[in-house]
Homo-oligomer: A and B are copies of this chain.
Amino acid sequence: MLLVNNIRLSRIIINTWYVDIIMIASCMGAYFIREYLIAYHFSIPTIIPTVLGTAIAFFIGFNNNQAYDRWWEARKVWGGLVNDSRSFARSLLSYVPQSDENNVLVQRMVHRHIAFLYALKAKLRGTVDLIYVKYLDEEERTQVEKQANIHNAILHKQSEDLEKLYSCGKIDGFKFMQINELLVKFSDQMGMSERIKNTVFPTTYSYLTKVFIWLFVVTFTLVISQEMGVWSIFMGWMIGFVFVSTQINGMNLVDPFENNVAGIPLNQITRTIEINLLEMMGEEDTPPPILPINDEYVL
């Protein structure tokens, strides 16, 4: 997630340079074709790029809306994980009677929940996470890693421990229900993250929009070169840049779990939950929060 309001121009150029080159080349092509071929035969009506421009603004607007909605939905899902993780720890710590045996079990469940979050994060980011090892004992780790879906296997372990608490009479049915409902919510949030991760945004939309922008830039340059001559190459590129950068900007939000500057700061969120949960258990030695990189973005 970018934090600064004045983005370095270099960042935007890095994002668009290959498209910029294509656009400038197309504008030059359009200029020369019109100057040396078309000019002798007919003039090109202004209405062509006008209508195209309006239509493309609509389609880019559509793409950006859906992209932003995906991004915000993803952010909400992880916001929900924050809230429910705190409720989960609070319920276990307050509602399971204090005793040496119980405290060990409660601590194990809270630690395992942190492992669950790190495992889920690693899956969504496509990275390998080593922190989750810290919060799972050796034996359990071997078991869950046998399954294709590690975080689901961890959740299964939580249910088994919850059942243990219940069947031994440490908690009653009401408390069992309240805590189980949180496990169901974790299952939901885990599945919602996977859904956003695995569902490709309809690719025809972004593909067609790219084609349409290219058509627009070419016809636009053809038209303005009738009045502006060689300067039309610059102007064609500039107008194209307005559309292209907005489109690329939107498409950056489409995959909110990527490990890049546009993504949701899963590292930071997971660490926040980790600190909150450890503090609630009264542990002294909490890890430091994730800080922004260069004061510019946070992962």
Known: A195-B76, A200-B2. A249 touches B55 (CB 8 A): no
Judged by a CB distance under 8 angstroms, whether A224 is at the interface is yes
What's the tally of chain A residues with a CB closer than 8 Å to chain B? 114
B53 adjacent to A54 (CB under 8 Å): yes
A163 adjacent to B94 (CB under 8 Å): yes
Assembly CA distance A86 to B183 (angstroms): 11
Judged by a CB distance under 8 angstroms, whether A99 is at the interface is no
B148 adjacent to A275 (CB under 8 Å): yes
Residues of A70-117 at the interface with B, using a CB-CB cut-off of 8 Å, are 71-72, 75-76, 79-80, 82-84, 86-87, 90-91, 93-95, 97
Judged by a CB distance under 8 angstroms, whether A180 is at the interface is yes
Q: What residues of chain B lie closer than 8 Å to A147, measured between beta carbons?
A: 279-280
Give the interface SS of chain A, mostly helix, strand, loop or mixed.
Answer: helix
A62: contacting residue among B64, B91, B176, B226, CB under 8 A: B64
B249 adjacent to A190 (CB under 8 Å): no
Judged by a CB distance under 8 angstroms, whether A17 is at the interface is no
Residues of A within 8 A of B (CB): 1-7, 12, 41-55, 57-62, 64-66, 68, 71-72, 75-76, 79-80, 82-84, 86-87, 90-91, 93-95, 97, 147-149, 152-153, 155-156, 159-160, 162-163, 167, 172-178, 180-181, 183-184, 187-188, 190-192, 194-195, 199-200, 202-208, 212, 215, 220, 223-224, 226-229, 231, 235, 238-239, 242-243, 245-246, 249, 252-253, 262, 275-276, 279-280
Interchain Cβ contacts under 8 Å between A and B, 23 examples? A1-B199, A5-B206, A43-B227, A44-B227, A45-B223, A45-B226, A47-B224, A48-B239, A52-B242, A53-B54, A61-B62, A66-B72, A75-B195, A79-B191, A79-B195, A80-B191, A83-B191, A87-B187, A90-B187, A148-B275, A152-B276, A156-B280, A173-B174
